[in-house]
């Protein structure tokens, strides 16, 4: 009897250990399989297609080696799209980072109506891109809100989205508006994590508000700033919906960013192999910029608490 009880106890312990071992995999398994199906496997297929002349309308295709990549490097519209992408990123990244931090500081202050303004600033995040585009199309319309306000000050009306000089800046402003809310919340959460005792000690030592911001707030927000810069950079490099709805890449390709050009080649020209090659190129550029941000901005990151 004793041996049987000991045997049953051993089986129970083994079953318990197995349950503890298998439980994490049961929880992460569905998410991992979903990630494999919608991200990893399509990415591998995309890399493979970049070495072929695959077209959606043709079931037959052939291996072409690096021909698509050579075509990409010789394509002037590819370089125009890359230039426009970097132009968009150079406007949105500093705009989002600075404005998000400023708004987070204002919302974090002990002012009346903070909850109301926090809600207003976060509204763009929960607004569908199609609805946001309709709003901004009305704002930028020749008879829209922006020209109406400017005319009150004697400034003539402008075709904001139909002029090469103003189309990209107009889209950049919309991009900043869309991204500020999320990053403001991220900064606000980081600000809430800074102990108030730091500021109290600095005030007792005679530090001004600017000195407290420079020597306490900014250093302790540096990990958050690095995260925001990296995520905003990745988002700016793959912008598509705003361009597709607002300008369709015009006028005269002045707002044709790389993802818009990839979609155009894949689904309008049906050159799926060439589009896949440009996607691989964009991935490599994104990874390179992420590494540069991590390598150089990471030097100034302060993780002290």
Give CA separation, 138 vs 131, 168, 169, 249, 252, in Å. Answer: 11, 17, 16, 18, 22
What was the pLDDT predicted at 94?
Answer: 95
What is the Cα–Cα distance from 31 to 296, expressed in whole angstroms?
Answer: 33
Least confident of 116-125, 163-172, 227-236: 116-125
Q: Count helices and strands (H / E) in the chain.
A: 14, 0
Backbone angles phi, psi at 63, to 5 degrees: -75, 125
What was the pLDDT predicted at 89?
Answer: 95
Tell me which of 157 and 23 has the higher pLDDT. Answer: 157
Tell me which of 132 and 27 has the higher pLDDT. Answer: 132
pLDDT band at 76 (very low <50, low <70, confident <90, very high): very high
Give CA separation, 201 vs 170, 196, 216, 221, in Å. Answer: 45, 9, 11, 18
What average pLDDT score do residues 93-109 get? 91
Contact, 302 vs 220, CB < 8 A? yes
Looking at domain 68-300, its CATH architecture is Orthogonal Bundle (1.10)
Looking at the predicted structure, is the pLDDT value of residue 12 above 70? no
Least confident of 34-43, 62-71, 94-103: 34-43
pLDDT digits (tens, 9 = 90+) for 199-222: 889 888 888 888 988 888 888 898
Looking at the predicted structure, is the pLDDT value of residue 69 above 90? yes
> Bridge-partner residues for 70, per DSSP?
none
pLDDT band at 26 (very low <50, low <70, confident <90, very high): confident
Least confident of 19-23, 137-141, 179-183, 208-212: 19-23
Looking at the predicted structure, is the pLDDT value of residue 2 above 60? no
Identify the top-confidence range among 67-76, 210-219, 287-296: 67-76
pLDDT digits (tens, 9 = 90+) for 260-282: 999 999 998 889 999 999 999 99
pLDDT band at 118 (very low <50, low <70, confident <90, very high): confident
What average pLDDT score do residues 166-190 get? 93
pLDDT band at 23 (very low <50, low <70, confident <90, very high): confident
What average pLDDT score do residues 63-82 get? 94
What was the pLDDT predicted at 305?
Answer: 54
């Amino acid at each position: 009897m004793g041996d049987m009880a000991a045997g049953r106890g051993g089986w129970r312990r083994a079953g318990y250990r197995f349950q503890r071992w298998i439980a994490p995999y049961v929880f992460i398994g569905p998410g991992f399989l979903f990630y494999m199906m919608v991200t990893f496997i399509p990415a591998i297929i995309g890399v493979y297609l970049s070495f072929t002349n695959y077209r959606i309308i043709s079931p037959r295709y052939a291996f072409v080696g690096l021909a698509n990549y050579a075509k990409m490097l010789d394509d002037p519209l590819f370089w125009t799209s890359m230039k426009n992408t970097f132009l968009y990123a150079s406007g949105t990244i500093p705009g989002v980072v600075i404005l998000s931090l400023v708004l987070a500081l204002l919302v974090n202050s002990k002012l009346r109506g903070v909850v109301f303004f926090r809600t207003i600033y976060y509204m763009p995040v929960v607004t569908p891109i199609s609805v946001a585009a309709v709003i901004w199309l009305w704002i930028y319309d020749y008879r829209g809100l922006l020209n109406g306000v400017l005319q009150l000050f004697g400034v003539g009306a402008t075709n904001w989205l139909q002029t090469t000089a103003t189309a990209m800046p107009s889209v950049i402003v919309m991009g900043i508006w869309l991204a500020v809310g999320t990053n403001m919340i991220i900064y606000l959460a980081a600000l809430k994590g800074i102990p108030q005792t730091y500021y109290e000690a600095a005030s007792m030592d005679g530090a001004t508000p600017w000195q407290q911001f420079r020597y306490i707030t900014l250093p302790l927000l540096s990990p958050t700033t690095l995260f925001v810069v990296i995520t905003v950079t990745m988002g700016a490099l793959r912008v598509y919906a705003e361009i597709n709805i607002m300008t369709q890449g015009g006028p005269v390709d002045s707002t044709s960013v790389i993802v818009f050009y990839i979609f155009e080649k894949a689904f309008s020209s049906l050159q799926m192999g060439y589009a896949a090659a440009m996607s691989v190129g964009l991935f490599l550029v994104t990874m390179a910029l992420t590494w540069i941000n991590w390598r150089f901005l990471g030097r100034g990151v302060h993780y002290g608490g």
